[in-house]
Structure 1
Amino acid sequence: MTGAERREQILAAARRVFAEGGYAASTDEVARAAGVSQPYVVRLFGSKRELFLETYRQASAQVLATLSSVAPGPDAGKDMGDAYVGLLDDRDLLRLLMHGFIAGGDTEVGVVARHTLGEAFRLFRERTGGTDDDARLFVAQGMLINVLLAVDAHRHVGEDTGMDGLVFCTLQHLTPLS
């Protein structure tokens, strides 16, 4: 395996580990998940913070690339929504993004988190020609979907009538979630 391939293997493992444990996860956990030694992870990335930051940048770039791939036009709003829904299959991606918003107190993580939200807003406006309110609602809906999926709300229907209503009106138009 080349150095670049090993680096990608570690980043993929870090995505899974940080999605599960957030920033509290250790480089040792990442190393075990990647099948390498912890000193090797530190040698490649320098610190847990740098590893988290690189993993978070990669996830944010994936979201923005997906939204950027939508062509401008009259169907762009629906197409952007569909493109975002396509990302929902990668639960690690969405959970990692949530952990990044929580870790936003870190200066560099905060820069990436704010850029991702702002760029999603800008892209929606640009692609759809919609208003600021339209773009705000698009970003807000995406964040709400992330939160609902992060807490497995769709798997706990019947526990709370208020949550049931929120899940139904938010997720009803999405493909069936398991």
Structure 2
Amino acid sequence: MNSPRQRLPAAERRASILAAAVEVFGARGYTAATTDAIAQIAGISQAYVIRTFGSKEALFIATAERVVDQVAEVFRGVLAESGDVAQDRIEPRLGDAYVRLAEDRGALVTLLHLFTLGQDPVIGPVAREGFLRIYTILRDEAGLSAARATAFLANGMLVSTILGLRLPSRSDDPMVAELLSATFRENTGLVTDLFGDGQLSSDSSAPR
């Protein structure tokens, strides 16, 4: 007699949906992503996704907030570990930690999609709050000046843009290789390994 399949707690199911949503939103953007594709990756029914979050819009907002939480957690972790390290040494550590978020495939590009939806009446306020939350951590907790914090954010958006453009798949182009090296420095190999195939998600070939 087969034992009944163990049901995951609701919190674990929700976390698995958000993890799948990061992949799909990162690969396809908000408009092209589907709750069906997210459900397939999460290994659950589309109906369960909708029942849990209510709509694709609400799921995208929850996913984006999850990524902003990741950025905040990673930055605060770096600051806690750095202690009294000089500020000029903290900044590169923050940058390295941000780039390594690329290991959660789709996370940094999901941020990019979030910030391009600033005009949306529902998603826009979430995007602005998330962006300012990250800026506030850089200013108030990391102690960066306004000039250095804005430069840091600009470079962070460059990182997300490069991934969104899937430029690592063209690393054999000398100009692209130069751009990747200047942007990612010691993490260039990590980025090309993760995204050198031109895909941001294993779901990119799934039907829409």
Question: In which range does the TM-score fall when normalised by the shorter chain?
Answer: 0.7 to 0.9
Aligned to 1:105: 119
Work out the percentage of aligned pairs sharing the same amino acid.
37
* Superimposed CA distance per residue, residues 25-77 of structure 1 (whole angstroms, 9 cap, x where no aligned partner): 11122222222222221111111111111111111111111112213641322
**Regions of 4+ moved over 6 Å:** none
C-alpha change, 1:123 and 1:38, in structure 2 (3 Å) is same
The structural deviation recorded for 1:160 is 6.9
Alignment of 1:37 onto 2:45: yes
CA contact (8 A) 1:76 1:127 kept: no
CA contact (8 A) 1:22 1:99 kept: yes
Q: C-alpha distance in 2, partners of 1:86/1:164? A: 19
Query: What is the distance in 2 between the residues matched to 1:60 and 1:121?
Result: 11
Question: Larger relative CO (CA 8 A, sep 6+): 1 or 2?
Answer: 2
Please give the secondary structure, in 1, of the residue aligned with 2:140.
helix
> Is the 2:99–2:159 Cα contact (8 Å) retained in structure 1?
no
Q: Match for 1:168: what amino acid? A: S
Aligned to 2:19: 12
1:102 & 1:57 partners in 2: Cα distance? 15
2:206 alignment counterpart: none
For the 8 Å contact 2:23–2:105, the answer to whether it is kept is: no
How far 1:165 moved relative to its partner?
Answer: 4.2
CA distance in 2, matches of 1:43, 1:131: 45
Q: Which structure shows the higher helix fraction?
A: 1
Task: Determine the structure 1 residue equivalent to 2:179.
Answer: 166
TM-score (norm 2): 0.74
Structure 2 residue runs of 5 or longer lacking an equivalent are 1-7, 194-208
Matched residue count: 177
How do 1:132-151 and structure 2 match up within 5 A? Answer: 132-151=146-165
Q: Which runs of 5+ in 1 are unaligned?
A: none
Structure-2 separation of matches of 1:128 and 1:55: 25
Alpha-carbon distance, 1:84 to partner: 1.5
The answer as to 2:70 corresponding to 1:62 is yes
